[in-house]
Structure 1
Amino acid sequence: MASRLRKAGIGLTAAGGLAIALVGGWEGLKLASYRDVIGVWTACYGETRGIKPGMRFTKAQCDTMLIDGLEDFEAGMRACLARPDAIPEKPYVAFLSLAYNVGVGTFCRSSVAKKANTGDLRGACDALMLYVNAGGRRIQGLVNRRTAERKLCLEGVR
């Protein structure tokens, strides 16, 4: 299975809708490019790829970028998970939110991925809380986001 976010030609799955709500809600929507907390040019729902100063977007463009971005990050996340389709929906979406936020490389090297690959989903959910720093400092917004991701994640492993 290539993606759990969309049904071929039909639209979003429940996981896709949940991912958009979770990631979009935490990233927030900004229609003009800006520098994030560590100085990276960002726009829309936390998109950094190809973003430059002075860029502007419509909400529709941002919505499309979010969906496309989630699918790209999902593909990268799936590549480093031993059994991605065995992961229940809520932990899967929480892991995708982390991958979208920290990048696929960081996700693939993370304690979250390592624990998920050994079948320790509860440990993987708890490990989300290790990723609350940016630019070498603890960011309260990341603490809040990881707390929400962990809560969602644990709902899926009980």
Structure 2
Amino acid sequence: MKISDRGVLEIAEHEGIVPAPYRDSVGVWTVGVGHTAAAGGVNPAKLPRGMPADVDAAVLDYLRLFDADLDKYEARVNAAVKVPLKQHQFDALVSFDFNTGGIYRAKLTEAINRGDKGGDGFMGWVKPPEIIRRRKAEQALFRTGNYDANGDQIPIWDVDSNGKLRGILKTISGAELQRLMASTGSGRKIAAGPKRSPWAGLIAALLALIGKGKS
């Protein structure tokens, strides 16, 4: 299976995009969309500190890395889970493994492979405490198909030269994230989630014009 469009947005909203190395809540060097050395490839601890001169170019670079990481975590979930999954269940597990790296050893996975799809095991991974909201969102997604991400609040963070987050530079929409990922040339074919209304683009454009008129 491949992660769906909405699953990609779910992870991106949970993680945000940080175009320079930073220490996460437990001190692990991280960059881009939740990329750590454990994912392989780029080691954030060895990257230059501080914000890049060209933030937009750095964001594109780290979206390429995000795409490669998604391939790895999709493969891990496909290998670890031996029973059929619905799309929203697969998406929830990719998000879980992307954050914890625990898909192979989690009791959650053991339960699913026994046929227990209650999702109780998500809440066995709740350290540090600030991750609890994400675990609850993943559990709800797995159980109900309720995607927590609303697709228009993906933050791009500012970070100082010591690897400390300083605040949000701006947010981008899910549609903009997809456009940027497509522009990287990675070729990712995001699996189909629920189809958007053909009027969605027109409505978004009209809302943008109204917003400009108020500014």
TM-score (normalised: structure 2): 0.58
SS in 1 for 2:26: coil
> Which structure carries more relative contact order (alpha carbon 8 Å, separation 6+)?
2
Mapped to 1, the partners of 2:64 and 2:105 lie a distance apart of: 28
Stretches of structure 2 lacking an aligned partner (at least 5 in a row) = 38-42, 146-215
Task: Return the offset for 1:112.
Answer: 1.2
1:100 aligns with 2:114: no
Flag the structure with larger Rg: 2
Task: Write out per-residue CA displacement over residues 41-82 of structure 1, whole angstroms, 9 at most, x where no aligned residue.
Answer: 100111012212425571111222112101101112221111
Stretches of structure 1 lacking an aligned partner (at least 5 in a row) = 6-14
> Match for residue 76 of structure 2?
76
- 4+ residue stretches of structure 1 with deviation over 3 A? none
Trace 1:1-158 onto structure 2 (pairs within 5 A). 3-5=1-3, 15=4, 17-49=5-37, 50-52=43-45, 53-54=47-48, 56=52, 58-83=58-83, 86-103=84-101, 106-122=102-118, 125-133=119-127, 138-140=128-130, 142-156=131-145
Mapped to 1, the partners of 2:117 and 2:35 lie a distance apart of: 28
CA contact (8 A) 2:73 2:94 kept: yes
TM-score (normalised: structure 1): 0.78
CA contact (8 A) 2:73 2:97 kept: yes
Mapped to 2, the partners of 1:38 and 1:54 lie a distance apart of: 20
Task: Return the offset for 1:129.
Answer: 1.2
* Seq. identity, %: 25
Task: Return the offset for 1:19.
Answer: 2.1
